[in-house]
Structure 1
Amino acid sequence: MVKKIKTYVKLQVPAGNANPSPPIGPALGQHGINIMNFCKNFNLKTNNLEKGIPIPVIITIYVDKTFTFITKTPPVSALIKKILGIKKGANKPKKEKIGVITNNQIRKIAEIKYIDMNGTNIESMISSIKGTAISMGLTVQD
């Protein structure tokens, strides 16, 4: 028999650092699921990733207060910051440039994100990642 779905909850949780404090506790507690159980399972699933990198997670909560969850790849901006070793993007991206990203680095990010993007070709993903890099105040170098 198929379980009846109550709701979906989408969060971004740091890899390996899930704990019952906000935003996880309030988001899941209002649906009556075991928050510590989610935190333990999420941390186990993400312990092979770099600690602290934000991981999008979609939690399916069922009527009987059980849950399942799916993790996605980190956001493009987080991958760019990780590859370039920067803390944040530019405050005024049109006026100040904070660094340079190469096409090879962009292709690496596209290959990582390709898992989540069903039906999108790699070239359109590369174009999208370039746009994100530019909006962060980076210069794209061939």
Structure 2
Amino acid sequence: MASKGAARVRKKEIVKVVHGALLRTNIKAQMASAAPPLGPQLGQRGLNVANFCKEFNKETGHFKQGVPLPTRITVKPDRTYDLEICTPTTTWLLKQAAGIGRGKASKDEIVGKLTVKHLYEIAKIKSRDKALQHVPLEQICRMLIKTCRTLGIDVQYHDLDPVELKEFLVARKEKVDAQLKDLADKKAAKMLRTT
């Protein structure tokens, strides 16, 4: 009988989860708050969430509000931390430069156009990141071109014609509006089926 009781006790043992010292997350500039997902992540590591949010919002004051910033938080055993804020995410920078809100929806869709000059400027911004400090600008530009392909942004090696670009953006806006209307119709049809 004693062995059954001991087995029950062993089943009820709780294993404490030990979180790593490094936390990588994207936080929007000037918008850190104790709400999920950031608050619980910091709380699990024993950090004072309110102080962290206050410090983060103060340090990101020079960024436009809402810009996604990759952040690395190194938690020390005495519950202090080192905060490393990187430059905005590559996809966000490319979307802003191309003037688009979202990437491609189908395989061969072109959602925006950029020149190599745009990519060079973005590469100069990204070269400030600790991870890319010793990477040549040419290689960073190649990485950006690959990301552009993934997003559906066409990279051109000559200057963009303003008239051609305006026509492209007007046609693109019409296409996006049609896609959003189709999505809304599908969502409405799905809601009708479930009710």
TM-score (norm 1): 0.92
The aligned residue for residue 141 of structure 2 is 126
Largest Rg, 1 or 2? 2
Deviation at 1:118, TM superposition (A): 2.2
Deviation at 1:73, TM superposition (A): 0.8
Paired residue type of 1:121: P
Q: Secondary structure at the match of 1:82?
A: helix
Higher strand share: 1
Deviation at 1:124, TM superposition (A): 0.6
Q: Secondary structure at the match of 1:10?
A: strand
1:87-120 residue CA offsets vs partner (Å, 9 max, x unmatched): 111122x321111111111011000001111221
Separation in 2, partners of 1:38, 1:85: 33
Q: Secondary structure at the match of 1:96?
A: coil
The aligned residue for residue 3 of structure 1 is none
The aligned residue for residue 29 of structure 2 is 15
Gaps of 5+ in 1: 1-5
The aligned residue for residue 62 of structure 1 is 76
Number of aligned residue pairs: 136
The aligned residue for residue 41 of structure 2 is 27
Paired residue type of 1:80: L
Higher helix share: 2
CA RMSD between the two structures:
1.1
Paired residue type of 1:85: G
TM-score (norm 2): 0.67
Separation in 2, partners of 1:8, 1:138: 33
Matches within 5 A, 1:40-119: 40-92=54-106, 94-116=107-129, 117-119=132-134
Separation in 2, partners of 1:84, 1:22: 31
Paired residue type of 1:41: E
Gaps of 5+ in 2: 1-19, 158-195
Query: 2:151 matched to 1:136?
Result: yes
Deviation at 1:135, TM superposition (A): 0.7
Separation in 1, partners of 2:60, 2:125: 16
Q: Secondary structure at the match of 2:41?
A: helix
Separation in 2, partners of 1:51, 1:103: 27
